[in-house]
Amino acid sequence: MAKAIKKKSAVKVPKAKPLKAKAKTAKLPVPKNIPAAKGRVRKAVLLAEAKHLKPLELPQDGDAAVLDRLWATIETRRTSADASISHSARLIARGTPKVAQKLGEEAVELVIEAVGRNREATIAESADVLYHLMVLLVDAGISPGEVWAELRRREGISGIVEKASRTRPKALMAIAQTRKLP
């Protein structure tokens, strides 16, 4: 009887393997001249995409008042800082065309990063654009309060209606040599 029990215990029953959910990967269109990659999407790619799509986490002290403080700092540098040690003073000393050019360069960099969906670089370039906008405002003698007042005036007005109500500057029309500006 002991042998019979022994033989029964010798029978191997296959263990059930836990079921693994297969990740469904979306197939993206690939240009004809580029061979399609074999295999599955790398984990690093999935993590990068998830990181880019996560909600924006703002610091507790993040507010627009920082722009007023930045403007005040740049104004102080314009009036009393040495252009050899202050980037703001140096930029303003080079004149309005250079200030405007620098703002344009930073705006292009922002657009490139935004189109590339690079979250961290888009945030960094946005800060650069805002800084250079504040330099331009200081150079033009415009306070941020004037810009905030204009934004408040436009609040609740359709962008299409607001844009249609503007008069187009004659200088812009002369430079463009057209009347078909949107």
Distance CA 135, CA 147 (A): 14
Quick check: helix, strand or coil at residue 140?
A: helix
Distance CA 171, CA 181 (A): 13
Angle at 178 between CA 175 and CA 182, to 5 degrees: 100
Task: Calculate the alpha carbon distances from 172 to 41, 133, 179 in Å.
Answer: 50, 20, 10
Task: Calculate the alpha carbon distances from 47 to 20, 99, 120 in Å.
Answer: 20, 39, 15
- Mean pLDDT over all residues of the chain? 78
pLDDT value, residue 173: 63
Domains and CATH numbers, the chain: 65-142 (1.10.287.1080)
Task: Tell me the whole-structure pTM to 2 decimals.
Answer: 0.59
Kindly report which listed range (12-21, 56-65, 164-173) carries the lowest average pLDDT score: 12-21
Kindly report which listed range (50-64, 74-88, 125-139) carries the lowest average pLDDT score: 50-64
Identity of residue 138? V
Predicted confidence (pLDDT) per residue in 7-44, tens digit: 555 556 556 555 555 555 556 565 666 665 666 667 77
pLDDT value, residue 13: 55
pLDDT value, residue 24: 54
Predicted confidence (pLDDT) per residue in 112-158, tens digit: 999 999 999 999 999 999 999 999 999 999 999 999 999 998 888 87
Report which of 129, 155, 133, 153 is spatially closest to residue 144, judged by C-alpha positions.
133
Q: Band of the pLDDT at 160, cuts 50, 70, 90? A: confident
Q: DSSP character for 5?
A: H
